[in-house]
Amino acid sequence: MARRGPYKVLAGLRGPQILEIGAPEWERLRTYIQLDLAGLLIAVVWLIVLRATVLDDDWFVAIIVLLLVMAVFLVRAIQLIHQYRRFAAVVVFALSNWIVAVAVTATTPFALSTLTLAVLLPVLVALQHMNRARLLAMLGATMLVGTALVVVGRVSGGVGLEGKVDPAVMHGLAIAFIPFLTVLVSLAAWQNHVVLVARTEALQESRARLVATADRERCRIERNLHDGAQRRLAAAAEQSREARRLLAGDPGRAGPLLSRLSDDLQEASTELRNLAHGIYPPQLGQYGLETALRAVAQHAPIPTTVRAVGVGRYPPEIEINIYFCLLEALRNTIRHGGEEATVAITLQDRNGLSFDFRDTGKGCDPAVIRTGHGMITMNDRLGAIGGTLTVATAPGDGVRLHGHLAGSVLKSAGVERSGWELSGVVRSVLGGLWAVVARTYIAAQRSVEPHPHRFIAAGLWGVLGVVLGAGAIALVVFARTRNPWLLALAGLCCVMAAMAVVTLRVVRRGRVKRAIGLSAAITWCYAFALTSMIPSAQPYAALVMVSPVLLSVAYLPRRRFKIIMVCTIATAFAIALPERFLPGIGFEGVAPGWVVDATVIGLVVMGLTRASYLAWQNHMMLVARAEALQESRGRLVAAADRERRQIERNLHDGAQQRLVAAAVQSRVAQRLVATQPGQVGPLLEQLDDDLRDAAADLRDLAHGIYPPQLAESGLEAALRAAARHSPLPTEVNAAGIGRYPPEIEINIYFCLLEALQNAGKHAGEHATVTIDLRGGNGLSFDFHDTGNGSHPDLIRTGHGITNMYDRLGAIGGTLTIDTSPGAGLHLHGDIPARPVAGM
């Protein structure tokens, strides 16, 4: 029975567990929005109680309605997450915070000090869910909304609620909600910190899995060739020789033997064709993704439908990866979904290319599917081309997979996206606004790179100037009023100035972690002192207070980051008090109102831009740390798929064609045995030659895919075999080398094979090659050739060297290059591996 009414709403808020394999940002985003929604509902209940017991004012009703509208926005954001529309969910979340913050501040300017952090929240949440262009637009919008908020808060007179409500109630609201929003900001920063670490680790593991998967695929193809077509060819060659012997002595028995030979060759040809199609389906290259998937659906053992909306042709690396992802999903359903399961596949090109795979099978526990080999492989494939894969499942509820490649990914891959879009114009305008702000901060810290040294130094010089000026003002006012609180503030300013000088010395010595801790303490003291002296500057102090936790995201380990979070929340309680209970230095009473308003507006805008710039720097770090691994992962997948296409082409153009010709010759020979036996002998000789050539093709192809010596005898034997076939004199020194894990041996083998092939192409005819392998706690190699050499910058960008970097990096190894024109090439690889036990 379907759920109705509020039960359906509650179930929709909870929703199925959404898994993004290797990076659970969907669940974190949903949890975060749910926490924001819970806090909002608590605020609504509190205001309802206040209206019922303290103040019967219709403006309270208006504010409650505004907060309920925000709650509707948040519910919609959660629903969008369930629809796998993460970007849209973040936008709705941002709009809900911004609209309500400005509207509430317009009616109750008192709320300005509380809601400045609410404007900053969306951009912190967006860091891990948006690409560069969209985040630039979000930052620009944050600047506009923050400026509008502080202008409205200082210029608007409100509706007079502050004068009607008991001051204790207003103080309680501020003291409660400033720390609450600080907790949300800290949690957003914590999530960014966790993702920064987890994403790099996940990409590293994914790269290693991709290499291992490609090597397992190599081994499987080699084994299929050896156990299938190669054995059939050997049996066919024996049958051909037997037919030739029977032709001389007993021609009557040669006919049936040739018939069996023809059938065996036909089966071998079919087997090779199926193997080639499984390696790389011809429909995919000829007709595209939709046609290839429909062909798979027609041959699937369970009912499978394919629907495509607006899908055209895409670059090969995109089509092949989506194809094999969906093929893997179909195989999983066939194995585990149950006999009654059905599958529906939907492809759609709208704001990017996406697919939905749904089955009506048994489903499973989400924790099981998260660790499944098939799901991880699918995620690796999509991630390597810039896509994401999410999974929703539960026992008895089937499995839903959603894959998405954003429009920016398609555009970077060369897919033309035509048409004028208003959203694109808006993003450009907002992004341009933020670019102006970013250039100002880049000029201040004199560095484009997201590194903390110069940014901390620039901030400390600013704080030093402000606290010295504030201390001087506090002393002047103290001389007139003899207020001891001002003398204490002046002393605090002097302490902060001394700490700033000490921290600047720490920064110059490059001690980033210690400098961040000291600058955080200074920042918190500065925020407290500023609020104590000028209570109306509390909105700016709240933004300053959260800067340390934003700065710490990319540079502090987990334990120290938690300390910064706790201290930030404690400071939030501290700065919520001075505005309520301390008179300050009287700046608001002495200076004209417009000066106070302009000062507060300028400070808040400055604080908001600084916090947003820190968020932008964190995004840059998220991108910078993952970019190299992401590119490496993409190259590995592309290389594996190029190899698939090459193997399929070699099978089709080589052994498969020879087998077809041999099958035709055997059928012709069978017909000629009875009528023209004299012509059968030459025909069988040609058949023997074709079978011999086909067997040689398959043997060479299998050896190139995965050398049998490597699995049987180890790295040294495989390299010596490769050296014997090298066009250059090659010496292999590997005394005392034992056996290592397969993933170590195969990667070093193909790295050195790549180097050997490069030497054969570029080193020159008179070059020689020496390969040295050394074991111990790890495994290292040195590759020397006496060839032409090259400029180091040229060789580092070469395709072969890049493949070697990727392979060794995937197993935790390093590669160094030493070369110059005319001085040959020296490669040194080092892998921190240990020999296999017992070998």
DSSP string of 510-558, one letter each residue: T-HHHHHHHHHHHHHHHHHHHHHH-GGGHHHHHHHHTHHHHHTTTTS-H
Closest CA to 803 of 749, 767, 727, 728: 749
pLDDT tens digits, 551-573: 888 778 888 888 999 999 998 88
Mean pLDDT of 742-747: 83
Residue 536 has pLDDT above 70, yes or no: yes
Q: Which ranges of 85-131 does DSSP label H, i.e. alpha helix?
A: 86-107, 112-126
Give the C-alpha separation, 405 to 354, whole Å: 6
Determine the pLDDT at residue 357. Answer: 93
pLDDT interval class at 663 (50, 70, 90): confident
Segment among 14-28, 247-261, 389-403, 482-496 with least mean pLDDT: 14-28
pLDDT tens digits, 215-229: 777 777 777 777 777
More confident residue, 426 or 322: 322
Give the C-alpha separation, 184 to 443, whole Å: 31
Mean pLDDT of 454-458: 71
Which residue bears the tokens 């609504």?
44
Task: State both tokens at 10.
Answer: 């509650």
Give the C-alpha separation, 553 to 458, whole Å: 19
Q: Which ranges of 225-250 does DSSP label H, i.e. alpha helix?
A: 231-249
Determine the pLDDT at residue 294. Answer: 92
For 405, phi and psi rounded to 5 degrees?
-120, 115
Task: State both tokens at 242.
Answer: 């037997």
Residue 80 has pLDDT above 70, yes or no: yes
Give the C-alpha separation, 156 to 719, whole Å: 80
DSSP string across 456-517: HHHHHHHHHHHHHHHHHHHHHHHHHH--HHHHHHHHHHHHHHHHHHHHHHHHHTT-HHHHHH
Determine the pLDDT at residue 242. Answer: 79
Closest CA to 67 of 113, 111, 21: 111
Query: What are the distances in angstroms from CA 80 to CA 33, 38, 92, 557, 725?
Result: 12, 18, 9, 33, 59
Residue 15, classed as helix, strand or coil, is coil
Determine the pLDDT at residue 148. Answer: 92
Q: Quick one: DSSP state of residue 835? A: P
Q: Quick one: DSSP state of residue 787? A: S
Which residue bears the tokens 């020689």?
768
Determine the pLDDT at residue 21. Answer: 45
Determine the pLDDT at residue 13. Answer: 47
With contact defined as beta carbons under 8 Å apart, do 759 and 728 qualify?
A: yes
Residue 421 has pLDDT above 60, yes or no: no
| Cα Rg of the chain (Å, integer) | 35
pLDDT interval class at 837 (50, 70, 90): very low
Which residue bears the tokens 């001085």?
823
- How many CB atoms lie under 10 A from the CB of residue 595? 12
Give the C-alpha separation, 616 to 136, whole Å: 8
Residue 820, classed as helix, strand or coil, is coil
Determine the pLDDT at residue 838. Answer: 40
Residue 191 has pLDDT above 50, yes or no: yes
Beta bridge partners of residue 343, listed in sequence order: 304, 359
Determine the pLDDT at residue 147. Answer: 92
For 733, phi and psi rounded to 5 degrees?
-115, 115
| Pairing mode, strands 769-774 and 730-733 | parallel
pLDDT, averaged across the chain: 78
Give the C-alpha separation, 547 to 308, whole Å: 48
Determine the pLDDT at residue 88. Answer: 83
Determine the pLDDT at residue 691. Answer: 80
More confident residue, 334 or 395: 334
CA 752, 758, 759, 765 dihedral sign is positive
More confident residue, 152 or 526: 152
Give the C-alpha separation, 273 to 1, whole Å: 50
With contact defined as beta carbons under 8 Å apart, do 30 and 15 qualify?
A: yes
Helix %, strand %, coil % of the chain (to 5): 75, 10, 20
Segment among 114-123, 377-386, 554-563, 773-782 with least mean pLDDT: 377-386
Mean pLDDT of 389-416: 80
Closest CA to 571 of 545, 548, 553: 545
pLDDT tens digits, 316-329: 888 888 998 899 89
| Pairing mode, strands 352-359 and 343-349 | antiparallel
- How many CB atoms lie under 10 A from the CB of residue 274? 12
Beta bridge partners of residue 400, listed in sequence order: 358, 392
Determine the pLDDT at residue 452. Answer: 62
Which residue bears the tokens 């936008």?
91
Q: How many helices (H) and strands (E) does the chain have?
A: 33, 11
Contacts of 517 (CB under 8 A, 6+ apart): 560, 564
More confident residue, 511 or 303: 303
Which residue bears the tokens 């002046």?
490
Determine the pLDDT at residue 11. Answer: 43
Compute, in degrees rounded to 10, the torsion defined by CA atoms 53, 59, 65, 68. -60
Q: Is 27 exposed, middle or buried (0-12, 13-18, 19+ CB in 10 A)?
A: middle
Closest CA to 392 of 402, 382, 403, 400: 400
Determine the pLDDT at residue 24. Answer: 47
Share of the chain above pLDDT 90, in %: 7
Residue 111 has pLDDT above 50, yes or no: yes
With contact defined as beta carbons under 8 Å apart, do 240 and 691 qualify?
A: yes
Determine the pLDDT at residue 471. Answer: 80
pLDDT interval class at 588 (50, 70, 90): low
Determine the pLDDT at residue 345. Answer: 94
CA 285, 286, 288, 290 dihedral sign is negative
pLDDT tens digits, 698-740: 777 776 777 777 878 888 888 888 888 888 899 999 877 888 8
Residue 130, classed as helix, strand or coil, is coil
More confident residue, 798 or 342: 342
Which residue bears the tokens 């180890």?
714
Give the C-alpha separation, 254 to 672, whole Å: 11
How far does Cα 628 stand from its chain's mean position?
A: 11
Residue 205 has pLDDT above 80, yes or no: no
Contacts of 255 (CB under 8 A, 6+ apart): 670, 673, 674
Residue 337 has pLDDT above 60, yes or no: yes
Segment among 205-209, 419-423, 492-496 with least mean pLDDT: 419-423
pLDDT interval class at 304 (50, 70, 90): very high
Segment among 359-363, 413-417, 532-536 with least mean pLDDT: 413-417
318-338 in b/e form (b: 16+ CB < 10 A) is bbbbbbbbbbbbbebbbebbe
**One-letter amino acid for residue 746 of the chain:** I
Determine the pLDDT at residue 1. Answer: 34
Give the C-alpha separation, 442 to 188, whole Å: 24
Give the C-alpha separation, 115 to 403, whole Å: 37
With contact defined as beta carbons under 8 Å apart, do 754 and 803 qualify?
A: yes
Beta bridge partners of residue 347, listed in sequence order: 308, 355
pLDDT interval class at 771 (50, 70, 90): very high
83-109 in b/e form (b: 16+ CB < 10 A) is ebbbbbbbbbbbbbbbebbbbbbbbbb
pLDDT tens digits, 824-833: 888 888 887 5
Give the C-alpha separation, 184 to 67, whole Å: 17
Compute, in degrees rounded to 10, the torsion defined by CA atoms 627, 631, 632, 636. 150
With contact defined as beta carbons under 8 Å apart, do 306 and 347 qualify?
A: yes
Determine the pLDDT at residue 591. Answer: 66
Determine the pLDDT at residue 10. Answer: 41
